[in-house]
Amino acid sequence: MDKGATTLKKLCELDFDAIEAYEEAMQRLEDKDIADKLAEFRSDHMTHTDTLNKFLKARGEDVVEGPDSKRVLTEGKVVIADLLGDKAILKAMIANEKVTVKAYKEASDNDALSPDEKTEIASFYEDEQRHHDWIKTQSEKL
């Protein structure tokens, strides 16, 4: 597996990790409006995994079906399951968005990726920045 494919695979695993964290957060949040917005963000992550898998397939690589067993997110599903209160949950989600923003930013500069792959990744980077900023603003209101 070359560098480009490894980058796509890692991003896809990270997105699956994020999806699990979102699901846990959505179940635990008391504020249903925030939970609804997180559901919307979760679908962005699902679009990411679909597209990244399409790229992996086109490269002749296996598709990714879930997060890496090591889990990259430090504030992932397991941590969120133990948190109490919307503010604490949103704080964990902000930490996760920082990880995904960073990963997509790095990938958008990765020359091992094709122009098409880079274009999609640049738009996913924007998704992550939008998720981060929205959650941060909400958390400051609580």
Please, what is the minimum distance in Å from the beta carbon of residue 26 to Fe ion?
13
Site residues (CB under 5 A) for Fe ion, limited to 99-138: 131
Q: Is the CB of 9 or the CB of 45 nearer to Fe ion?
A: 45
- Nearer Cβ to Fe ion, position 77 or 131? 131
Q: Residue 58, SS3?
A: helix
Q: How many angstroms separate the first and last alpha carbons of the chain?
A: 45
- Residue 48 backbone dihedrals phi, psi, to 5 degrees: -60, -50
Q: How far apart are CB 122 and Fe ion at their closest, in Å?
A: 15
Pairwise CA distance, residues 85 & 68, whole Å: 28
Q: How far is the CB of 128 from Fe ion (least distance, A)?
A: 5
Sequence letter at residue 93: M
Residues near Fe ion, by CB under 5 A = 131
